[in-house]
A = this chain, B = another copy of it.
Amino acid sequence: MKLIDGGVCAAKGFKAGGVLCGIKKNRTKPDLALIVSQVPASAAAVYTTNLVKGAPLTVTKAHLENGIAQAVICNSGNANTCNADGIQIAQAMCQMVQDAAGIPAQDVVVASTGVIGQPLPLEPIQKGMAPLVASLSETGSDLASTAIMTTDTVKKEVAVEFALGGKTCRMGGIAKGSGMIHPNMATMLVFITTDASISPKMLQKALSADVADTFNMVSVDGDTSTNDMVTVLANGLAGNPTITEENQDFAVFMQALNTVTIHLCRMIAGDGEGATKLLECTTSGADTLAAAKTAAKSVICSSLLKAAMFGADANWGRVLCAIGYSGAQVDVSKVGVKFISQAGSVEVCKDGSGVPFSEEIAKAVLSEKEITIAVTLGDGPFGATAWGCDLTYDYVKINGDYRT
């Protein structure tokens, strides 16, 4: 499993591109992305559980019913959600891909991200289609990943190389994160491509299993988005024997997928709106997997802990508090907490009570960019990891006036 360059274009037969078509005023970087596969691909997706769903999700779901897709179109600047004509708009975007790139509309995945409840104008997208198709290239992942950014400050791209049945396969992904990030049985916008050959059914199985431990364990602000979606396209051009059951190849494929998704999770959490730090909470010693996950996610979601981490304040009482109200069944008299970073490690709580520690060392540990909050819950066999970020002045600033 080797990290490589190329993002969504790392896999054979995928091109991507992006243009600035002008959906939102004042934007200077691309706002419309396209990813295409040379041939129809097995496709799988997971969607937000928010009852308020973006219209593009409804259209994508219908298009993926046969497990096949060949392109992804995505705009930023407008979520196309809570609009009376949303479905028609999303369908029109797919039709435009058919007209401009020759890919059947029903094989197009469509996604939108941005403000909720404002009509999405089709004119700029229509005008942008010809230059968008012209921008497609095997080095276009960069453009596409830029085009799907909203308040993200960094592009989110990753790719890996691995072998299946003696054939070299590649898998890559791009993501948009930042705010309204609290996936629940689903996730934010993530597009993954691979040239591995795998049946649609096994691809969906792999994706659904993976997100439970990856994107569903990320939170920036506790707000589950209306437009969350992850899709994977697998076009089979690597030539490996098609995966159709849970064999050794499926395990390798899962490992590749997990490498890609965890990488993107960490990038999304670390680039949460206003964030200055990536927080990782690991739990161990839980009696059940549910307790391990619930406790880890609760710690990552606590506004009080997030603000304390921003201030590099070793206020471990807030970790205990968040575990206590999480709903996880834990024996609080067995809980231990350590803060860990590149600068070292400091134990602050053992058996549910404080232990003396050096404030100076704690400050140094917590002043790093990546902090692990390592929690032991007892002597059970289960553990979990959740990712989040600190709560900062800039989160408030960004969201105090997001629409205008």
A residues contacting B by CB (< 8 A) are: 48-53, 79, 81-84, 115-119, 179-180, 182, 184, 221-226, 301-304, 307-308, 310-311, 313-318, 320-325, 330, 332, 349, 352-354, 359, 391-393, 395-404
Taking a contact as CB atoms under 8 Å apart, the answer to whether A400 and B321 are in contact is no
Residues of B within 8 A of A182 (CB): 325
CA distance A116 to B261 in the complex (A): 36
Contact residue among B117, B119, B403 (Cβ-Cβ distance under 8 Å from A349): B117
CA distance A404 to B313 in the complex (A): 8
Taking a contact as CB atoms under 8 Å apart, the answer to whether A321 and B353 are in contact is no
Q: How far is the CB of A105 from chain B (nearest CB, A)?
A: 25
CA distance A118 to B315 in the complex (A): 10
Taking a contact as CB atoms under 8 Å apart, the answer to whether A222 and B301 are in contact is yes
Assess A396 versus B392: contact at CB under 8 Å? Given A51-B332, A52-B321, A320-B117: yes
CA distance A315 to B48 in the complex (A): 20
Chain B residue, CB-CB nearest to A354: B117
Chain B residue, CB-CB nearest to A398: B307
Assess A117 versus B83: contact at CB under 8 Å? Given A302-B222, A322-B223: no
Contact residue among B81, B223, B321, B396 (Cβ-Cβ distance under 8 Å from A302): B223
Taking a contact as CB atoms under 8 Å apart, the answer to whether A50 and B324 are in contact is yes
CA distance A396 to B273 in the complex (A): 14
Residues of B within 8 A of A48 (CB): 325
Assess A354 versus B223: contact at CB under 8 Å? Given A323-B52, A392-B396: no
Taking a contact as CB atoms under 8 Å apart, the answer to whether B399 and A317 are in contact is no
CA distance A313 to B396 in the complex (A): 12
Q: How far is the CB of A272 from chain B (nearest CB, A)?
A: 11
CA distance A401 to B323 in the complex (A): 21
CA distance A349 to B117 in the complex (A): 9
Taking a contact as CB atoms under 8 Å apart, the answer to whether A325 and B117 are in contact is no
CA distance A304 to B404 in the complex (A): 15
Taking a contact as CB atoms under 8 Å apart, the answer to whether B51 and A400 are in contact is no
Q: How far is the CB of A394 from chain B (nearest CB, A)?
A: 9
Contact residue among B119, B303, B403 (Cβ-Cβ distance under 8 Å from A315): B403
Contact residue among B52, B115, B222 (Cβ-Cβ distance under 8 Å from A303): B222
Please name 8 further chain A to chain B contacts, defined as beta carbons within 8 Å, in addition to the given A51-B324, A182-B325, sorted by A numbering: A52-B332, A82-B352, A84-B353, A223-B321, A307-B400, A311-B402, A314-B403, A315-B403
Residues of B within 8 A of A115 (CB): 315, 317
CA distance A332 to B392 in the complex (A): 32
Taking a contact as CB atoms under 8 Å apart, the answer to whether A313 and B402 are in contact is yes
Q: How far is the CB of A263 from chain B (nearest CB, A)?
A: 26
Q: How far is the CB of A227 from chain B (nearest CB, A)?
A: 9
Contact residue among B82, B354, B397, B402 (Cβ-Cβ distance under 8 Å from A320): B82
Residues of B within 8 A of A226 (CB): 317, 320-321, 324
